[in-house]
Structure 1
């Protein structure tokens, strides 16, 4: 391990320690010895008879250095402990922080982890009324993360990294995913864990490009055949669908935005003008195509329903939805392209 506690209960790096001092393990409070050599870097180690099972000596330098720096940064928010054991659930977060009569578990994740393990840890903390914040290391920051990976660690729309080399947090938020493009987001570097990020920038995508891309997919027969067949049976062509289906930027979908929005329009048509449906029924149908936890799924579905209302396709009345008008389909692709704003 590269960190330990001195007699004043302060975290000390092995590189800053001397053998004249006494140190204990942050996890079990057993005495540790400072070691150094020509090959291995300076580090702390348990004595041979140690029974420590809470503090790993095989963690990467990045992980341990990050935990030490995080503990130092987070002291401004409250009492901080590294690798504190929570006996009721047999879990030990990287950092346990007490703030405003609330315990917060900080998990500093530098290596891959399954959704199952994340869910298990989160459930354990929740059972003890402990909030949890997942902070990612540099390995995640430098990668082009998939939507599935992002959603593993997303908390209230925010993704947080900590980079020990520059000793800064990186906050990503306002995630968007236009069809045929990579995930977009706003990124901010900061010295603070808790950071508010606002954005007034409205970024649009190239609608014509999206239409031509979809045309190529149809030619290559890479579009759901059942959907194409359904439209054909109703004397419609996919490329003649309303422009609105190409304007989506919802993040976290299991299908393209255009397909999700088209399905929403087909659901509205099935209900029929002048008819009413409970919002919960429509929401339940839409969330089948959203990744993430149930809260995130419902948030995305409600956003789409609000967009339908903005287009005057529907009118929301409390928990009910009235279908107000049908979307306009185009007679040709050329007519549709002519309606694209330049």
Structure 2
């Protein structure tokens, strides 16, 4: 993109006149280049400006996608392409503005590290600008993967929302990661919209959607069998295995408490049963009757290796829900007793079983 003599930002593929044209960052003259294999683009006559690294190399998909997104949003926002922010040395693919807020759109067609993603997101937030990441074609086959959902997602009413744009069919795909439980696929909802009105309606419907998160007794019993198979394959983390041996516990006979009664938000990389089993083994290092700070307990449960690399807002929200549910379940089964809002008392050790048969027998009883 470059500015023409009227200070209008245009794409190299769209221009009909011969110029002159100017760099949006340094305002120096640029020249249009086009070939048989490379997309039409502007280049500096001599050395590029010092801050030219604020944008990635343009691809056909990236350019077309930006122009299509302008059409998608233009009736509801003031739209500006490739807006440069010198304070943070970043250039947004698209900036949306209305009376209430500004939104930077990042149309991500190439790989990007979580560190770089967070740096760009944080830069916009410093300026009071929200940011929405919209994924390109290379991510379409990965939109059901938790690593992608948690990396690019936005939290909307406890649901992780990810957006992707198809330049060929000109539609926006909305993927909502609602919840998950062990040994099952993530509970997803997918919508395809072609207008902003459809997009807004779909988001409101997803936001207000009531999801049954309960895990019934039959499914919990099936999880116990899957857990036993998981243990027999030796798939569990070494830490969990070592702690179980230390306490003389059989992982196959882990307490029913490890099998959650509700589906949980995305973010946990390992099985929830494995994470809960580790927490129970950690809890057993305390003495019966000991009063424990909830802050201390939760701190011991937050092992970075257990979580997908994800944005801090998503990570904290997911961690808090998982830990609060764990505390609630420990209280319900009589392992912990609330002392006040900040402390609990460890009043009983969870019941472990010698084998899977004993475990199932206790469940039927």
Query: TM-score surpassing 0.5?
Result: yes
Using structure 1 for the length normalisation, give the TM-score: 0.78
Equivalenced residue count is 337
Change (3 A) 1:81 1:236: same
Asked if 1:160 is matched to 2:163, the reply is yes
Alpha-carbon separation, structure 1, partners of 2:253 and 2:9: 67
What is the Cα deviation at residue 231 of structure 1?
A: 2.6
258-267 or 301-310, which deviates more: 301-310
The answer for the alignment partner of 1:67 in structure 2 is: 66
314-323 or 97-106, which deviates more: 314-323
For residue 95 of structure 2, give the secondary structure of its aligned residue in structure 1.
strand
269-278 or 115-124, which deviates more: 269-278
What is the Cα deviation at residue 267 of structure 1?
A: 3.5
Q: State how 1:10-21 maps to structure 2 within 5 Å.
A: 14=13, 19=16
Asked if 1:201 is matched to 2:211, the reply is yes
Alpha-carbon separation, structure 2, partners of 1:146 and 1:308: 25
The answer for the alignment partner of 1:262 in structure 2 is: 277
For the aligned residues, what is the CA RMSD?
A: 3.9
Using structure 2 for the length normalisation, give the TM-score: 0.74
Q: State how 1:87-126 maps to structure 2 within 5 Å.
A: 87-126=86-125
Alpha-carbon separation, structure 2, partners of 1:54 and 1:114: 16
What is the Cα deviation at residue 233 of structure 1?
A: 4.2
Asked if 1:246 is matched to 2:262, the reply is no
Change (3 A) 1:46 1:269: closer
* Aligned partner of 1:334 among 357, 360, 364: 357
What is the Cα deviation at residue 80 of structure 1?
A: 1.7
Gaps of at least 5 residues in structure 1 are none
Contact 1:176/1:184 (8 A) holds in 2: yes
Gaps of at least 5 residues in structure 2 are none
What is the Cα deviation at residue 238 of structure 1?
A: 1.0
For residue 85 of structure 2, give the secondary structure of its aligned residue in structure 1.
coil
Alpha-carbon separation, structure 2, partners of 1:123 and 1:201: 32
User: What whole-Å deviation, never above 9, does each CA across 1:264-299 have from its counterpart, x for those lacking one?
Assistant: 223343345544322222222222233334443332
* Aligned partner of 2:315 among 287, 297, 303: 297
Change (3 A) 1:276 1:86: same
What is the Cα deviation at residue 59 of structure 1?
A: 1.7
Alpha-carbon separation, structure 1, partners of 2:103 and 2:174: 18
The answer for the alignment partner of 1:320 in structure 2 is: 343
Alpha-carbon separation, structure 1, partners of 2:39 and 2:115: 36
Contact 1:153/1:159 (8 A) holds in 2: yes
Higher RCO (CA < 8 A, seq sep 6+)? 2
The answer for the alignment partner of 1:184 in structure 2 is: 187
Change (3 A) 1:92 1:324: same
Contact 2:62/2:109 (8 A) holds in 1: yes
What is the Cα deviation at residue 79 of structure 1?
A: 2.2
Alpha-carbon separation, structure 1, partners of 2:257 and 2:6: 65
What is the Cα deviation at residue 314 of structure 1?
A: 3.7
For residue 168 of structure 2, give the secondary structure of its aligned residue in structure 1.
coil
Change (3 A) 1:43 1:244: same
